[in-house]
Amino acid sequence: MGAQVEEVVATNALTVNLHLLMVSFFRPAGRRCKILMESGAFSSDQHAVHAQLRFHGLDPADCLIEVRPRQGEATIATDDIVAAIEAAGGTLALVLWTGVQYYSGQFSTWVGSPRRAGRWGRGWASIWPMRWVTCR
């Protein structure tokens, strides 16, 4: 990620950090109001995302995009994540993607590239909880 060792610190509970990050970086405006995350995320992560959407007066049924594994597969294809981001286009306000999926163990490197993210324009943020990365 480009940080020096002395610039990294573990702090708070993950859910507290998620809320703090979303309060700062999830700034829905007009049609740019959607959050994209993996389907089957840890239940408290799902709850936090729902709570943030409702805090902004938004309905998770309309504003939460969940990407799931293809039929018969355990992990989510990078192409499907990219396709979901591109399909969301100007409605996307936040991508919340886990570094390691707690259930499948899928390790995600795809979204960590600012160069890649830059391709999709400005106006949205991304957050990558790294608990299980730092645990392994």
Ligand X SMILES: Cc1ncc(COP(=O)(O)O)c(C=O)c1O
Output the smallest distance, CB 67 to ligand X, in A: 16
Q: How far is the CB of 39 from ligand X (least distance, A)?
A: 14
List the one residue from 51, 84, 131, 133 that touches ligand X (CB under 6 A). Answer: 131
**Pattern of binders to ligand X over 100-119, x per CB under 6 A?**
--x-----------------
Stretch that binds ligand X, among 10-18, 50-58, 83-91, 106-114 (CB under 6 A): 10-18
* CA 132/CA 19 separation, integer angstroms: 18
Q: Is 20 in the site for ligand X (CB under 6 A)?
A: no
**How far apart (Å, rounded) are the C-alpha atoms in residues 33 and 65?**
11
Q: Does 51 bind ligand X (CB under 6 A)?
A: no
Burial class (CB in 10 A: 0-12, 13-18, 19+), 106: middle
State in angstroms the smallest separation of the CB of 14 from ligand X: 4
C-beta of 14 vs 125, nearer to ligand X:
14
Please tell me the count of residues contacting ligand X according to CB under 6 A.
9
> Which range in 28-36, 42-50, 68-76, 79-87 contacts ligand X by CB under 6 A?
42-50
Which residues is 95 bridged to in the sheet?
Answer: 36, 126
- Cα separation, 102 vs 105, in Å, equals 6
Distances (CA, A) of 121 to 31, 43, 86: 15, 30, 10
Considering only 13-21, 29-37, 78-86, 88-96, which stretch makes contact with ligand X by CB under 6 A? 13-21
Element (H, E) at 31: none
Token pair 């992990």 is found at: 75
